[in-house]
Amino acid sequence: MESTVKVTAAEVNKLRQATGAGMMDCKKALVEAGGDFDKAIEVLRKKGQKVAEKRADRDSSEGAAVAKLNADQTAGVAIVLGCETDFVGKNENFVKLANDLAELALNYNTKEEFLAADFGGLTVADKLVEQTGVIGEKLDITSFEKLEAPYVGAYVHINKIAALVGLSAKVDNAETLVKDVAMQVASMGATTLSYKDFDPTYVASETEARIAVIEKDNEELARLGKTLKNVPKYISMSQLTPEVLAQAEEDAKAQLAAEGKPEKIWANILPGKMDRFVSDNTTLDKEKCLLDQNFIKDEKSTVAKYVASYGDVEIVDFKRASVG
């Protein structure tokens, strides 16, 4: 028998504001709950649970990346609210939800603590289930990064990548420095601060793999009669011991002698050759190490040199959260 419960537009709107659900879904939930507001929320929550169960194996590969800083910029958080489609990820209400969640996330140090936190009467985890029912796509916090430092800055690239950078001190124009470095983190995808952080086993494995790729490429280039790529012996500054650098300098001197260059001008040429040797043999550092990367705003400089131009300050840490 059809229900005779009557609900007002004001009641429907109140439920919409509380849950974000569509007008018809809210009306149906209120009717099913006999007009009881709290029960109607429970009806929508159960619907969300059913949708979430059905979509549990879906991939939340789209979404919105956001970053938030506390008032004195000594802490920041970067999260990704994941969904299934780019269409939802760009939705204004979805992005607002991501920002609201990030504001709350500032108060927690781990993803687990954050998911258990209260968000409008629900835990964050339950809110995601509820919104899965509202939106019809699997929602998840696919990335959670927290950073604390004497001074923290952030940069967000079109809600797809959020980056945080921590400085050892707040120096003059720190706002510019921290934003520029955060842009570097977002665009160049460093995974560690310096080559000094690398494990020797990892470097050895990467060296072998990269040389193998270049040698394979050279086989094809040779077949086509094209110029072969340089095969480096090393890929990281961590491998360039004083002995290795000394041998490289001796090799450079021998090359200059073979070319008939007068010894009195070697001092003018050797620095450039050594710089080239280091550049050719530190490709891993340039890819993975923030401080060793070429600075995106000045390819002739490194991030380390750019930071040093601001005086007595260092990058103490960085975090990156990206969609997909």
Residue closest to 142 by CA, chosen among 189, 83, 196? 83
- pLDDT at position 242 over 60: yes
- pLDDT at position 318 over 90: yes
Name the phi and psi angles at 220, rounded to 5: -70, -40
- pLDDT at position 115 over 70: yes
Give the CA distances from residue 252 to residues 238, 246, 260, in Å, rounded to whole numbers and listed in that order: 21, 10, 13
Banded pLDDT at 2 (limits 50, 70, 90): very low
pLDDT in tens, 176-223: 999 999 999 999 989 999 999 999 999 999 999 999 999 999 999 999
**What 3-state class would DSSP assign to 137?**
coil
Residue closest to 88 by CA, chosen among 137, 45, 158? 137
How much of the chain, in percent, has pLDDT values that exceed 70? 95
Banded pLDDT at 54 (limits 50, 70, 90): low
Mean local confidence (pLDDT), 4-19: 78
pLDDT in tens, 247-291: 999 999 999 999 999 999 999 999 999 999 998 999 999 999 999
Output the CA angle 131-136-141, nearest 5 degrees. 50
- pLDDT at position 44 over 60: yes
- pLDDT at position 224 over 70: yes
pTM: 0.76
Give the range among 20-34, 76-90, 184-198 with minimum mean pLDDT: 20-34
What is the torsion angle, in degrees rounded to the nearest 10, for the CA atoms of residue 280, residue 284, residue 285 and residue 286?
A: 70
Q: Which domains does the chain have, with CATH numbers?
A: 9-54 (1.10.8.10), 62-187 (3.30.479.20), 196-312 (no CATH)
pLDDT of amino acid 53: 64
